Amino acid sequence: MTSVTYDVIIIGGGPAGLTAAIYASREKLKTLVLEKVLLGGTPINTDFIENYPGFPEGIQGKELVDRFKLQAQRFGAQSLEFKEATDVEQGDGIFRVRTDSDDYIGRAVIIATGSVPKKLNIPGEQEFTGKGVSYCATCDGPLFKGKKVAVIGGGDAAVEEGLYLTRFASKVTLIHRRHQLRAAKLLQERLEKNEEMELILNYIPVSINGDDRVTSLTIKDKDTNEEKEINVSGVFVYVGVKPSSQFVKELVKLNERGYIIADEKMQTSVPGIFVAGDICSGSIQQVACAARDGVIAALSVRSYLSD
């Protein structure tokens, strides 16, 4: 256990956590950010962000969160990467955040752990993860240059990443389980104009097939139950996310889907523990909204510690 007591420990280094770090450290609070992988969160793997205020031409996801990180560091926030919180214990006016290697003590905690991709849970998915099955087009897209790939999903992320994949793949087939996509109209218009993209609606994936790597995807018509096989070398999955809240499920109140319940000040059911970003009940999972939550959580911590 480290001997330092922080004013606030922020668990999660995505847009919500980094924004909270900017505001908390600017308020002269001794601030520590713990991130289980690399600082930046989901936007690191997002090719291009067009709807974050202040960037009319858009900005690369990694560049945006790098700016968040530099700003937090400028005001004195400390950060540690590859430190995954495994438990939070409440003590006498303090909180002990446990990781796999060290414990950290804070007077307040902000949980900004976000969410992780949902799985299809079909045969072949686990077997071929990293061998053709991916949840990150920005990470793995260049590996499929000149090959055919499938994207599963119908929301903004699925269409955005499908469009990105056309830079590399010879053909991108987008498969959605409903008769209509959920993605924004602008994205749908881009999809329709892109000759490298094919859209298959009202089908669900049944199995991912291959030998050493993915060679095909079996899908089924939801109305007729007719199955067909599509020859692809890669399957990119974008069917939603689930909250990363397991490590505090016995400590703070969660809703039925596992998201942390908080009030308008981002205060959870435990005084001194706040929440921000996609992990929060009611989040609409946008970078701008995550930043807003981070601001509120940090200023609420200031008020909590003052009281």
Q: CB neighbours of 271 closer than 8 A, spacing ≥ 6?
A: 304
Catalytic residue among 87, 100, 139, 263: 139
Active site residue 289: no
Residue 203: burial class (beta carbons within 10 Å; 0-12, 13-18, 19+): buried
In whole angstroms, give the CA distance from residue 108 to residue 116.
25
Calpha distance 112→16 (Å, rounded)? 6
Q: Rounded CA gap, 187 and 158, in Å? A: 10
The answer to whether 35 and 79 are in contact (CB under 8 A) is yes
Tally of CB atoms within 10 A around 263:
11
CA atoms within 13 A on the CB side of 40: 16
The count of C-alpha atoms lying within 13 angstroms of the C-alpha of 124, restricted to the half-sphere facing its C-beta, is 21
- Cα–Cα nearest to 68, from 22, 28, 110: 22
Dihedral sign for Cα 94, 99, 104, 108, please: negative
Report the distance separating Cα 288 and Cα 307, nearest Å: 29
Q: Please state, in angstroms and rounded to a whole number, the distance separating the CA atoms of residues 273 and 9.
A: 10
DSSP state of 279: G
Cα-based distances in Å from 198 to 85, 170, 173, 176, 223: 41, 11, 5, 11, 20
Please identify which of the residues 47, 140, 156, 293 carries the catalytic annotation: 140
> Is 140 assigned a catalytic role?
yes
- Distance, in Å, from the CA atom of 79 to the CA atom of 53, rounded to the nearest integer, reads 26
Instruction: Check if 280 is active-site.
Output: no
The catalytic site residues sit at 136, 139-140
